[in-house]
């Protein structure tokens, strides 16, 4: 083994294996490993130009610093060696004489270190398990590898981020997370540790991340190299800023993104949609966007309005604009085998291929294949069709659904993209899907780009991705799960996030229990980055099967407007529509901070109160920007709420105006029309009238 410096890089070479440790922006390193003659050139999420820094290199003999190596026990078996150090701002990587890597902050405190359990390694964890920290296991006869990367576990460590998973825990310590996308699951493999560092697994391969009590283990089933990014900071905000500098930041949020979005499954025709918008305005209610959901098209993959039900898109868009409402249109990446575009796309290699078996990926409402969003030509083709058939009417916001993509089944080993086998790169699909529309909209002069996308990966934020949490169930349990999902997405660098208010699957609007759930969710939605109503609202209308030119037409769910859930509930929902409007200037400031520094709009309490131990423990409330604490009611029948108020601030109940000193838990009233909200340090925010 040899350790040496090459320009600003520290290299560990052992046989055919090379490990590169590079400074990567401020206070950060990128670590890569290969067993090939050349390092794989894919930068994946780390494709932003980062600030150039000048690292400091140091060497020291082992005996000079560590009493362990001075001991008679060690000297009996081993000789002395040299430790190598590379320091980049507030982070130092140490490569020991034995070849393992550990990371320290600028105070000399250990952040994390590799996990070795091999008696052939000369270290204090010398045991005969033959488990290495870095393993690239070649698949025979190929240049593809199975990859393991292992790090020590720390009992005091808490893990936050990693994207969106449908479970109850905000803290991911102890979790096993699948590194792949599914409907309602978005793998965004960056986390912030309570030990003062952030870590990005810079690999879009299918695999797992295990944050065990005995070790942390990353696994990729098929890949070309090991690649990760690690950054240190004195605060979670500094860590987030370092990370988003390397992966990109959200653009400026368009003004319509700050207000209320109306959506349902589904507005079946032009007049139905316009009548909802007209009634909103007649009632004096604010609305910034209305969504035309799926199956408004002639056929999947045609990317255009069905003319019988949508006879005059230009007049529709113009009328909505006159009311100050943005038109949002659903786009699916599914190309029906009977689509007018299927032949050309297949002929040009613009569709995802199957290495074996049937090339059809979904059979819902047609036999369809996903287009290959990793192919630049396919990106341009799809955008060109949407420009010709939607953008020309003035539609500039697109709902990019099915973005995982939602394979049926998720047999990743059979699919192949322009970018490579799905096993190696499928997690980049939603990012590239959003990139195609971002680039297209930019090419026609749009400045503030936003796409509603049902998935994300590391870096998606820079392409104007607003992620929502997918087809979740209508229940209080699901609502609680969405809170941790939204907070962990925000920590993972995706600041624009929302959920289907009331849940998507189920939800009978005549059921009083569902009405309570919807009201509580709507109140919470007013304090989410984007405020958007949506849902299937079963049971669906009973209609006979309907066809247009041989194409099956999709029916619709129950009504899903603010006046659809009873008069008393209407008054509550109306109240929160105007709460959101009063918060517009504050939300604009929060969005601009996300754009300039990568600061999450919604974030766990520890983000702002990192010196308060209880802030790291609290999982059922959060900060909405720097000055508003929100404690959603997420249990049926609850009429009061226990709220922890972090130390280091004075808190004012936004409803009662009563003041509390931080560092204590208080119980406050929470009748059905109240969501507990507190304002920090006397800030003049008129949340409630």
At a CB cut-off of 8 Å and minimum separation 6, what does 365 contact? 295, 300, 552, 554
Where are the strands (E) in 393-550, listed by range?
A: 397-400, 415-417, 420-421, 451-453, 465-468, 497-498, 531-532, 546-548
Q: What are phi and psi of 424, to 5 degrees?
A: -95, -20
Cα separations in angstroms, 638 against 166, 507, 515, 669, 674 = 23, 19, 14, 9, 11
Q: How far is CA 681 from the centre of its chain?
A: 31
Q: What are phi and psi of 519, to 5 degrees?
A: -65, -45
Distance CA 329, CA 391 (A): 10
Cα separations in angstroms, 452 against 84, 188, 397, 439 = 47, 17, 8, 15
Burial track 175-198 (b if 16+ CB lie within 10 A, e otherwise): eebebbbbbbbbbbbbbbbbbbbb
At a CB cut-off of 8 Å and minimum separation 6, what does 445 contact? none
- Choosing from 114, 238, 372, 404, the catalytic residue is 404
Cα separations in angstroms, 327 against 35, 257, 319 = 51, 12, 10
468, two tokens: 């929502």
Rg (CA), the chain: 26
Distance CA 374, CA 440 (A): 15
For residue 497, give the 3-state DSSP assignment: strand
Distance CA 667, CA 643 (A): 6
For the four alpha carbons of 319, 321, 324 and 330, in that order, the dihedral sign comes to positive
Yes or no: say if 673 and 575 are a contact pair by the CB < 8 Å rule: yes
Give the neighbor-by-neighbor strand order of the sheet with 602-603.
602-603, 622-624, 628-630, 677-680, 650-653, 659-661
- Choosing from 113, 288, 471, 481, the catalytic residue is 471
Length of the chain in terms of residues written: 689
Yes or no: say if 495 and 599 are a contact pair by the CB < 8 Å rule: yes
Distance CA 107, CA 111 (A): 10
404 catalytic, yes or no?
yes
Give the number of other Cβ atoms within 10 Å of residue 66's Cβ. 16
- Choosing from 26, 401, 406, 516, the catalytic residue is 401
Yes or no: say if 508 and 207 are a contact pair by the CB < 8 Å rule: no
For residue 233, give the 3-state DSSP assignment: coil
For the four alpha carbons of 171, 173, 175 and 176, in that order, the dihedral sign comes to positive
As annotated, the active-site residues are 401, 404, 471
């Amino acid at each position: 083994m040899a350790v040496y410096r090459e320009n600003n890089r520290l290299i560990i070479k052992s046989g055919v294996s090379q490990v590169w440790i590079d400074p990567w922006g401020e206070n950060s390193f990128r670590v890569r490993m290969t067993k090939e003659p050349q390092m794989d050139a894919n930068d994946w999420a780390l494709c932003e130009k980062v600030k150039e820094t000048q690292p400091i290199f140091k060497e020291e003999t082992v005996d000079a610093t560590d009493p362990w190596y001075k001991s008679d026990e060690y000297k009996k078996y081993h000789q002395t060696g040299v430790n190598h150090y590379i320091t980049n701002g507030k982070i130092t990587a140490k490569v020991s004489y034995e070849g393992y890597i550990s990371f320290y902050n600028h105070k000399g405190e250990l952040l994390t270190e590799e996990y070795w359990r091999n008696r052939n390694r000369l270290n204090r964890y010398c045991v005969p398990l033959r488990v290495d920290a870095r393993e690239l296991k070649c698949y025979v006869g190929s240049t593809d590898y199975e990859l393991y990367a292992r790090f020590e576990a720390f009992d005091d460590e808490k893990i936050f981020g990693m994207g969106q998973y449908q479970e109850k825990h905000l803290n991911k310590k102890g979790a096993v997370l699948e590194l792949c996308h599914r409907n309602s699951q978005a793998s965004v493999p960056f986390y912030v540790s309570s030990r003062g560092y952030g870590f990005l697994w810079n690999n879009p391969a299918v695999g797992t991340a295990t944050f065990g009590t005995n070790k942390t283990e990353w696994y990729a089933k098929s890949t070309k190299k090991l690649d990760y990014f690690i950054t240190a900071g004195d605060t979670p905000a500094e860590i987030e800023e370092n990370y988003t500098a390397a992966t990109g930041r959200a653009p400026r949020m368009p003004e319509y993104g700050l207000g209320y979005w109306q959506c349902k499954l589904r507005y079946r025709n032009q007049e139905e949609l316009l009548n909802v918008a007209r009634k909103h305005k007649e009632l004096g209610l604010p609305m910034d966007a209305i969504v035309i959901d799926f199956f408004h098209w002639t056929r999947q993959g045609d990317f255009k309005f069905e003319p019988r039900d949508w006879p005059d898109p230009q007049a529709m868009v113009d009328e909505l604009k006159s009311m100050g409402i943005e038109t949002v249109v659903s786009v699916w990446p599914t190309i029906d085998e009977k689509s007018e575009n299927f032949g050309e796309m297949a002929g040009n290699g613009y569709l995802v291929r199957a290495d074996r078996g049937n090339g059809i990926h979904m059979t819902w409402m047609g036999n369809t294949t996903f287009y290959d969003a990793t192919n630049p030509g396919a990106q341009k083709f799809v955008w060109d069709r949407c420009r010709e058939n939607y953008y020309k009417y003035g539609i500039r916001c697109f709902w990019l659904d099915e973005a995982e993509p939602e394979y049926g089944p998720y047999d990743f080993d059979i699919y192949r993209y322009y970018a490579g086998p799905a096993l190696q790169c499928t997690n980049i699909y939603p990012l590239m899907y959003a990139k195609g529309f971002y680039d297209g909209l930019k090419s026609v002069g749009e400045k503030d780009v936003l796409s509603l996308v049902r998935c994300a990966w590391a870096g998606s934020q820079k392409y104007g991705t607003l992620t929502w949490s997918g087809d979740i169930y209508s229940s209080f349990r699901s609502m609680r799960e969405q809170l941790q999902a939204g907070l962990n997405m925000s920590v993972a660098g995706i600041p624009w996030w929302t959920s289907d208010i009331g849940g998507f699957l189920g939800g009978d609007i005549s059921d009083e229990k569902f009405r309570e759930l919807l009201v509580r969710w709507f109140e919470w939605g007013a304090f989410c980055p984007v405020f958007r109503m949506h849902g299937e609202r079963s049971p669906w209308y009973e209609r006979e099967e309907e066809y247009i030119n041989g194409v099956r037409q999709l029916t619709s769910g129950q009504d899903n407007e603010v006046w659809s859930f009873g008069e008393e509930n209407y008054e509550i929902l109306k109240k929160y529509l105007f709460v959101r409007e009063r918060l517009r200037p504050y939300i604009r400031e929060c969005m601009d901070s996300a754009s300039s520094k990568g600061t999450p709009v919604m974030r766990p309490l520890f983000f702002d109160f990192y010196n308060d131990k209880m802030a790291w423990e609290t999982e059922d409330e959060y900060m909405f920007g720097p000055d508003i604490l929100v404690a959603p009611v997420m249990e049926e029948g609850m009429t009061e709420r226990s709220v922890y108020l972090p130390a280091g601030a004075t808190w004012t109940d936004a409803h009662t105006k009563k003041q509390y000193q931080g560092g204590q838990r208080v119980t406050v009233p929470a009748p059905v029309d109240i969501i507990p909200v507190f304002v920090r340090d006397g800030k003049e925010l008129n949340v409630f009238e």
